[in-house]
Structure 1
Amino acid sequence: MGFFDKIKRGLKKTSDAVSESIGDVMAAFVKVDEDLLEELEEAMILADLGASTASRAVDELRDRAKHQHINTKEELRDVLCDILSEMMQEDSALDISKKPAVILVIGVNGVGKTTTIGKLAASYTAQGMRVMLSAADTFRAAAADQLEIWAQRAGADIVRHGEGADPAAVVFDSIAAAKARNCDVIIVDTAGRLHNKANLMNELNKIDRVITRELPDSSRETLLVLDATTGQNAVSQAEQFNKVAKLTGIVLTKLDGTAKGGIVVAISAGLGVPVKYVGVGEGIDDLMPFERAAFVEALLPTEELDETDEIEEEPEGEEN
């Protein structure tokens, strides 16, 4: 099953919710005017695209409506798909070209961080790479235990210390072991103590210094894992983490269990950080590289749109 099919299946709850808002607006209005634009903006906010993202999208739609002939509701949907897709950061794969590459994974507890690391590790080992997991979340003993289970499932190596150990020391030992075993990728788990940003900043800074000193030429990625079911709270988390770490990508989990999938657009457009992966199920292969165009196509409804329904064009020279 390809990305579009999986994302469409995973986004069913979101798409149903969007159909009740954006789809209804498109079905009810017969021309592009301020009433339509106002209703669309409200509908996008209700679909968890966020006020800022919705406003920007509507402004762009207003501008395009003045220069493009939008004659059908399907054309209106296509233009809106293009706008939302273009607002998001371009798709790009993780850079693991300079080995051993380091992927630093951050996020609060409960968002699916450990599961994401395990699925990434499984993906890389399936490609014939040797993967080292670094259990640098030493704040909770259960975190290292869970990571060890995933290491066994994925066929990856792991370095862990005892509860309360220095996370940077775990990373240092993980790098040493990865060098000795000729690993291709090191994936680092970290504690998610967002409520204490000073400690988090100090911890991440120390880890960063160790990686920079020990692997100055290696590829680096910093991924923030977010739970899609939290909606606008995910935006708040992303903003706060972006202040304490230089994010290179977002991983959005639990898309299959939420009606708030529009938050993907809000996060990528608002932060200027690309979405790298989305989780659309519990299976080990349900963490999928993100494709923004396919995502928006699956997000916006089609059932209530009739391609033969004409949208009345505004007279030449009038404001939309």
Structure 2
Amino acid sequence: MIGKLFKALQRSRSGIADTIRSVLGKKPSAKEVENLEDVLLQSDMGYDVVQDILEVVNASSGSDLMDAVRDALIKRLPQDQGVEINKRPCAMLVMGVNGSGKTTSTAKLANLYKGMGLKVTLVAADTYRAAAVDQLKRWSERVDCRLICNEETSEPVSVIFDGLESARASKSDLTIIDTAGRLHTSKNLMKELEKMYRVIETRFSEFNIQSLITLDATMGQNSLAQAKEFQADRKLDGAVLTKLDGTAKGGIIFPLYGMLDIPVKFVGLGEGLYDMEAFHREHYVDGLLGLEERSNGK
């Protein structure tokens, strides 16, 4: 599993790992420390995490520097969340802004959980964007997964109701709902999310609700603003970090958890159906630091 993640982090790693390695085995100069600080901040790790690393660099004896940095970074991330659906049936709401990879991630999640042996139903509730419904139809055929949609209505809550009724009747383990892409600044659409929660809680109370936000890793700090607004009324259970293979800002995972208490549960590593993995903090940190052999040995 580390191989694909390691490759995806190449752009983030090229600055971080190379700069840290440049001070291995010696006492870094003030200029070298300043350069390291700049590189780390540019990766969007956040001020607190960067200061942790700088303290480690200044206190390290040299040869153990990379191990010390690794330990400091791992401590800044939550324990691996695990992706098992222990309480079933489950209704998983997938939300995010347009362009964040939301609909594609919905399909990849269905494929991942179907591969784990779960009976999965997809619900196309992004009714404001016809292309999203068509896109999910094509993905559902590739995944070979049931899809519930209703192109005669633009009311997403109605589609969710139909989808969960169908999931209930078919005894699906997991129902993954692709919600309408929305700007985090759009109050009406954000209120619509609350209506979705209420319908599930009142009419489908046996369903365990999970909420995931898709965040485009290339957006850096803007992803934090999006996540903050999306969980203004309801705590998010986790994030799917997409397009990790196309950015040097892979450090956004740290403030996402440190500032907003949102753990990354999945990472998107490419455009293919199988290019999504459960997030593992040690593999991720090893990928940032260029420690491929360490993770391969786990």
Residue 105 (str. 1) matches residue 82 (str. 2) = no
Other-structure match for 2:254: 265
Contact kept in structure 2, 1:97 and 1:219, CA below 8 Å: no
Aligned mate of 1:197, from 164, 186, 192: 186
Aligned mate of 2:206, from 194, 211, 217: 217
Q: Which portions of structure 1, spanning 4 or more consecutive aligned residues, are displaced by more than 6 angstroms?
A: 32-36
Other-structure match for 1:313: none
> Match for 2:97: what amino acid?
V
> Match for 1:78: what amino acid?
D
Residue 87 (str. 1) matches residue 53 (str. 2) = no
Q: 1:181-260 counterparts in 2 under 5 A? A: 181-260=170-249
Residue 45 (str. 1) matches residue 41 (str. 2) = yes
Q: 1:1-320 counterparts in 2 under 5 A? A: 2=1, 4-24=2-22, 26-27=23-24, 30-31=26-27, 39-58=35-54, 61=56, 65=59, 70-73=60-63, 75-162=64-151, 165-301=154-290
**How many angstroms apart in 1 are the aligned matches of 2:209 and 2:176?**
10
Q: CA deviation at 1:164?
A: 5.7
**How many angstroms apart in 2 are the aligned matches of 1:55 and 1:236?**
22
Number of residue pairs the alignment of both structures matches: 292
Q: CA deviation at 1:301?
A: 4.0
**How many angstroms apart in 1 are the aligned matches of 2:250 and 2:180?**
25
Partner of 1:295: helix, strand, or coil? Answer: helix
Partner of 2:277: helix, strand, or coil? Answer: strand
Residue ranges of structure 2 left out of the alignment (5+ in a row): 293-298
In our comparison, the structure showing a higher alpha carbon Rg is: 1
> Match for 1:86: what amino acid?
K
Q: Name the CA shift for 1:57/1:239 in 2 (closer, same or farther; >3 Å).
A: farther
> Match for 2:191: what amino acid?
N
Contact kept in structure 1, 2:97 and 2:184, CA below 8 Å: no
Q: 1:296-318, CA deviations, whole angstroms, 9 ceiling, x for partnerless residues?
A: 11102469xxxxxxxxxxxxxxx
> Match for 1:119: what amino acid?
K
Contact kept in structure 2, 1:7 and 1:280, CA below 8 Å: yes
Other-structure match for 1:310: none
TM-score between both structures, scaled by the size of structure 2? 0.89
Residue ranges of structure 1 left out of the alignment (5+ in a row): 304-320
**How many angstroms apart in 1 are the aligned matches of 2:231 and 2:177?**
17
**How many angstroms apart in 1 are the aligned matches of 2:146 and 2:121?**
5
Q: CA deviation at 1:163?
A: 6.8
> Match for 1:180: what amino acid?
A
Contact kept in structure 1, 2:42 and 2:249, CA below 8 Å: no
**How many angstroms apart in 1 are the aligned matches of 2:260 and 2:40?**
18
